[in-house]
Structure 1
Amino acid sequence: MNLSDLKYLYSQSGNVKQIRDLLSQQKDVKIHLKGLAGSQLSFYANALYNTQNQAHLFIAQDKEEAAYLLNDLENLVGKEHVLFFPSSYKRPYQVEEIDNANVMLRTEVLTELNNNKNYLIVTYPEALREKVIDKQQLQQNALVINKNDSLSLDFINEVLFDYGFERVDFVSKPGEYAIRGGIVDVFSFANENPYRIEFFGDDVESIRMFDVVSQTSIGDVNKITVVPNTQSANEQSDEYKRVSLIEYIQTPIIWAKSAAHLLEYLDESYDKAKEIFERKKENSPLKHLPPEQLFVNKTEIEQLLAENSLIEYGLSAYFNYAVEFEINAEPQHSFNKNFHLFAQELIHNTEKGYQSIFLADSLKQTERLEEIMEGIVQEPEFEGKEIRFKSLYITLAGGFIDKQLKIACYTDHELFNRYHRFHLRDKARTKAKEFSLKDLNSLQKGDYVTHIDHGVGKFSGLEKIEVNGKKQEAIRIIYANNDILYVSIHSLHKISKYTGKEGAPPRIDRLGSNHWKKAKQKAKSKVKEIAYDLIKLYAKRKASKGFAFSPDTYLQHELEASFLYEDTPDQYKATEDVKRDMEKPYPMDRLVCGDVGFGKTEVAIRAAFKAVADNKQVAVLVPTTILALQHYKTFKKRLKDFPCTVDYINRFKTSKQQKETLKKLKEGKVDILIGTHRIVGKDVEFNDLGLLIIDEEQ
């Protein structure tokens, strides 16, 4: 069974067919899905979305629940069909607490709904309480620019100013625009990236999307829509008509876990908004609109819930005349990493005619489970029994057992007791080497910068220069002999802030000289020399005889799968590289680098356990006494369910305790010893040392 088969199974289920008929026959039907478990809701939503020519609005209990639901729907229906509608601020009338990234997401949703009505929109009470601009007014207040249009720069400047956009040198966030000669950069509230419009006279010659950090182009477009911040920038203005999100969508199918909880929250938050408004009216010099123009109240939403189709999936229905569907299901059972218990359940599922499905978003998790099951099935108690399950490469928030369809879905994070993170769109973008606007704004005149082609010079500020008869902003860099280089902002990627030996000023290069070219060539030669020495060193190491560790056992897979968090790609790669080196017949020498909290210790624990599994001992050398104790606790906690003895030695232990530890170490009764330089003392004897781990912490 693949994912399409599973979705088809739900689309053809009796419950879905009946609900589909009710929604088609009545525009304000009330339905109660009682007993949904795990991520079952998403399968029902997917089945109904594909047959109903309407938008679906999901109102979760809070932002976290909304985020998990959003991810489930994106995985089942497709990201292109799902929108997330967040709140723009935390408290009413607190303009300084507005989240511009969320304002942009809200405006994007409204713009998308103008173009296509049939979306799945996920939101939560805090976001729903804020009214939005009326659809007709949003269309009237949008500036549409097409390639080859005839528009004057003065007209665009005037319109953007009227929209409340701020004119800046370089755009960096929504609501900003910049004009340099015949180039206009604008960051609309309806788009994730800003646009660069190039004019030839009054004709729009080209429109390009560009990266806000590097200022480099991403791709060409033929048409853009510039939308102002209609959500919060006009909080003091009553020129806009505002409506609830439900009214804006127009006759959506509404999904809510609890309409009663939603209405209770809206009632309380509306009362708080009225209190804050009264205080602001007396103490604030700004004119604020009354709550009824900015926020929805309980009565409004209650009326809209009554007028539209509503599907509730909580414990009880708000409307007592709702048609109830009893869903015979239960959440995924808790196994507490007891894979023998899980294996028994899989066998029972097969005997009862259930299909067992393992949901994981990575191949490595599936392989780990398969190898663990292969190890278990060889044990005497499982002899002659078959463990069956199908793996699907998809992640969902919660597993479930559907007794009506005889399907048992198990998620990898619940099975392995790992933390499952939700993913919301991140507006932050960073690029390690490129010169960003943040760097540019932080530069002072006289700071050293490096141009990839011309070398080291001094930053001398921004200057407007004339290029082909048009004024443009450029970065001014001074080189030796007071030579000046102007760098267009379109070439920001060629500049970086100078980094060198602290306290020693660099040599300023001369434009047109060969010094910079020679310096780059010299650096390349040095790199080649270092590479040659390293190759020579590792050739000797490869020729040496070492111990080749065995391939991973099912215990190794069980340890790695039991990690609380999902491995990062780098963490997974580092682990695989280390283990691959350990399995080779020559000594391993590998450096694992990473910032604090990036999972280096977990990589070390996995490598250490692999050595212990082959009856070898491990020494962990750390720089401080405190760190020795911390690592001991970490190793001990991670390996407590496995046949592995961990001990440590430092000055906190008495002489008697140290002697006892060293005695066990010599006898081979201690598998992993953690300590400072004390563990390399002459009196420290290992029975069979196989791996040395050094935590440099530098």
Structure 2
Amino acid sequence: MPKPRRKDESPNANRRGMTLRELPALLPKQASFAAVIASLKRGQAGAIDGAWGSSAGLVVAALAQQIENEKPLLVVLPRMHDVDEFADDVFNLFGEAPAIFPAWESWPPDGSATDAVGGARLRVLRALASDKPPRVIVTSGPALMQPVPGQDEIAASSRTLRVGSDVDVEELLRWLIERGFERVPAVELPGEVSVHGGIVDIFPSDSEDPLRLEFFGDEVESLRRFDVESQRTIETLSEVSVTALASNGVGSLFQSGSSVGGSTSASDGRSEKNSRPLLADHLLAGSWVAIIELPELIDEARQYRERLSETTGLAEIAQVIARLTDFANVTVAPIAADSFETSCHLQIESIERFSGPKHEVLNELATVVGRDEQVLIACHNEGERERLWELLLAARPADGDRLSAGQNMVLADRVMLCVGRVNRGFRLVAERIIVLSDHELFGRTTIARETKRRRKVESRAIDSFLELNEGDVVVHLSHGIARYRGMKLMEKGDATEEHLTLEFANRTLIYVPVSLIHLVQKYVGGQRSSPELSTIGGTSWAKRKQKVANAVADLATD
């Protein structure tokens, strides 16, 4: 017989409290942290230590909230492989996904338009030049050593496409292909372009979604972004700028005598005027820089150079740091280092790994929680939060048992649960809060991060649609044979979606949304004359399908 619940044991009782995104507001309440912020606002430098575990992401989130006019905060990590995990912490604590400026692992890169790293780097550069630059940019020392194209080069390699303007499609294709774009039957990845009649799909190297241009003659009739999987419209545009850098902006790096970031590599020892810029040259005035574990960053950068057989075009890490210190900057580390800058010593401790049996993990957690401390556990989804709360309630002793056992603390009364992630837990000593995640608690080693899925377009229906010309005969799996009459953009509620226009017998039109395009295939019958169109509501098509099904069944029986 199940144990009856007490009044306070409902699934909704006591499980909600503080969230991860409320934590950054706690740090500026410390006088020394507020002093560092004041120093940065004056354009000076600071130093913060005691940032253990994911609390370094907490520091970044707190700093980003304090920058005036929402200028960017550039975060520099020692290792390129830590960037994604750190950005994940910042997102969960700050609430806004940071931009990631990645590094090529090898050097020189191939520079093709389909290179994902080159496209991601270009996306950050264009975002910095936009009206809404990213609030936080996470990168690494090696990424900053690798030069970037200047804004003038980006502008010279960009074209603006507008609805109502005339465009020479062949010339546009030639321009893209000369810059490394690949012409394919259907765009799937950045750096690809496809043409189907009056429809041109372009997947810019720096874009997360492709563009679709529909032409009436040479005139751009419509322009929109669409989802590569569903083909649905994401955003209707009046104009868009497409950038296609020759060799993805890295081709000129390897010429003899080239220099980077104002460094000197010419034989006469003079600094060349046309040196390749660095990311720091694109940062807006008033931006802040957070350098994570500076000594380790310098060491990792030097090891990166030593691993490469070719270093032409790369900046020295000393050049990079010198350029970064032109901005208000702060070093962040777990252990204090000698510094003459305004300093903050955070009262943060790391959390030891839970090593006991999983069925006893709550007992182990109870031994970690100190007197008057609370625990904030970030669960990776709502279902896990429900499950963990039920476990906490099940482990809660009855009132009489609590007193007889002399317990001073009931774990369920001290735990707050939220949905989110932190990669490495920490203890806020002054605030008496322990922050950790469910994957740490239960010894899970991986985190399922939310990423935008990209998959190949494998559906025959999609391929057939892209091959269709107006007037082609098609087969609708439910209604039969029809004639394709083009595409039509239709609204349903707040959504807008493209539809195939199919004409059946008696000039009956049916509009099939692109999301159901798997129901339509190109007709490939063997007869020379055009087949008879099916009648909507008739029985001939159903009888024909049943006849085929019976024949297949007979063949299987034989």
Matched, 1:84 2:100: yes
Q: Paired residue for 1:556?
A: none
Q: Give the direction of change, closer, same or farther, for the CA distance of 1:419–1:439 in structure 2 (3 Å limit).
A: farther
Q: Quick check: 1:249 aligned with 2:271?
A: no
User: Whole-Å Cα distance in 2 between the matches of residues 496 and 198 of structure 1?
Assistant: 22
CA distance in 2, matches of 1:102, 1:343: 45
- Equivalent residue for 2:296? 261
Partner in structure 2 of residue 638 of structure 1: none
CA contact under 8 A between 1:132 and 1:243: conserved in structure 2? Answer: yes
Larger Rg: 1
> Deviation string for 1:494-521 (max 9, x for gaps)?
45799xxxxxxx9999654666433557
State the alpha-carbon separation in 1 of the partners of residues 247 and 291 from structure 2. 24
Matched, 1:420 2:436: no
Q: 2: CA distance between counterparts of 1:151 and 1:97?
A: 25
CA distance in 1, matches of 2:156, 2:112: 28
CA distance in 2, matches of 1:188, 1:181: 20
Instruction: Give me the whole-angstrom Cα distance separating, in 2, the residues matched to 1:396 and 1:524.
Output: 55
Which residue does the alignment assign to 2:362?
339
Q: Structure 1: which amino acid aligns with 2:363?
A: H
Q: Is the 8 A contact 2:112 2:248 kept in 1?
A: no
Contact kept? 1:90, 1:98, Cα under 8 Å = no
1:518 equivalent in alignment to 2:543: yes
The answer to whether the 8 A contact 1:32-1:322 is kept is yes
- Is 1:343–1:373's contact at 8 Å kept on the other side of the alignment? no
| Distance in structure 2 (CA, Å) of the matches to 1:495 and 1:241 | 55
User: Cα deviation per residue 1:447-481 (whole Å; 9 max; x = unaligned)?
Assistant: xx98535779xxxxxxxx9999xxxxxxxxxxxxx
Partner residue of 1:452 out of 464, 477, 480: 477
2:113 touches 2:244 (CA, 8 Å); kept in 1?
no
Give the letter for the 1:137 counterpart.
E
**Contact 1:190/1:225 (<8 A) preserved:** no
Note if contact 2:18-2:376 (Cα within 8 Å) is conserved in structure 1: no
Match of 2:163 among 147, 152, 171: 147
**Structure 2 equivalent of residue 36 of structure 1:** 51
Is 2:371 aligned against 1:349? yes
Q: 1:132 aligns with which of 148, 152, 160?
A: 148
Whichever residue aligns with residue 134 of structure 1, its letter is G
Q: CA deviation at 1:52?
A: 0.8
CA distance in 1, matches of 2:429, 2:386: 28
In the TM superposition, residue 244 of structure 1 has moved relative to its aligned partner by: 1.4
Alignment of 1:358-369 (within 5 A): 358-369=377-388
Pairing 1:379-398 to 2, within 5 Å after superposition = 380=401, 381=405, 385-387=409-411, 388=413, 389-398=415-424
Q: What is the CA–CA distance in structure 1 between the aligned matches of 2:520 and 2:387, rounded to whole Å?
A: 46
Deviations 1:340-384 (A, max 9, x none): 2323444x432xxx3332221323333333333323332643667
Q: Is the 8 A contact 1:67 1:422 kept in 2?
A: no
Give unmatched runs, 5+ long, in structure 2: 1-16, 259-273, 468-473, 488-511, 551-558
Q: How far 1:215 moved relative to its partner? A: 4.7
1:99 deviates by 7.0
Q: CA RMSD in A?
A: 4.2
Determine whether 1:68 maps to 2:94: no
Relative to the length of structure 2, the TM-score reads 0.70
User: 1:13 aligns to what?
Assistant: 30
What do residues 651-681 of structure 1 show as CA deviations (whole Å, max 9, x unaligned)?
Answer: xxxxxxxxxxxxxxxxxxxxxxxxxxxxxxx
Q: Is the 8 A contact 2:113 2:119 kept in 1?
A: no
- Pairwise CA distance, 1:322: 3.7
Distance 1:212 1:375 in 2: 47
Q: Is the 8 A contact 1:75 1:395 kept in 2?
A: yes
Q: Deviation string for 1:104-159 (max 9, x for gaps)?
A: 22222111111134520112234333211112321232212222334443553454
2:343 maps to 324
Structure with higher helix content = 1
Q: Work out whether 1:55 is the aligned partner of 2:72.
A: yes
User: How far apart, in 2, do the equivalents of 1:172 and 1:358 lie?
Assistant: 39
Give the corresponding residue for 1:619.
none
Change (3 A) 1:33 1:307: same
Indicate the residue corresponding to 1:212 in structure 2: 228
Identity of aligned residues (%): 22
Contact 2:186–2:194, Cα closer than 8 Å, also in 1: yes
Shift of 1:61: 3.0
CA displacement 1:514-562 (0-9 Å, x = unmatched)? 664335578999xxxxxxxxxxxxxxxxxxxxxxxxxxxxxxxxxxxxx
Cα gap change, 1:377 to 1:494, in 2 (>3 Å): closer
Residue 206 (structure 1) shift: 0.7
| Residue 407, structure 1, aligned to residue 433, structure 2 | yes
Q: Evaluate the alpha carbon distance shift between residue 319 and residue 413 of structure 1 in structure 2; reply closer, same or farther with a 3 A threshold.
A: same
**Shift of the alpha carbon at 1:212?**
3.2
State the partner residue of 1:106.
121
- TM-score, length-scaled by structure 1: 0.57
The answer on whether the counterparts of 2:198 and 2:215 sit within 8 Å (CA) in structure 1 is yes
Task: Give how far 1:22 is off.
Answer: 0.8
Structure 1 pair 396/467, CA: closer, same or farther in 2 (3 Å)? closer
Secondary structure of 1:359 counterpart:
strand
User: Which residue does 1:691 correspond to in 2?
Assistant: none
1:169–1:428 CA distance, 2 compared to 1 (3 A): closer
Deviations 1:179-226 (A, max 9, x none): 444332211112112111122344322102233356554442222221
Superposed CA deviations along residues 396-425 of structure 1, whole A, max 9, x for unmatched, are 112211112222223211111122326374
Distance 2:397 2:195 in 1: 72
Distance in 2, matches of 1:341 and 1:25, equals 46
Equivalent residue letter for 2:325: A
Native 8 Å contact 1:198 1:207 kept in 2: yes
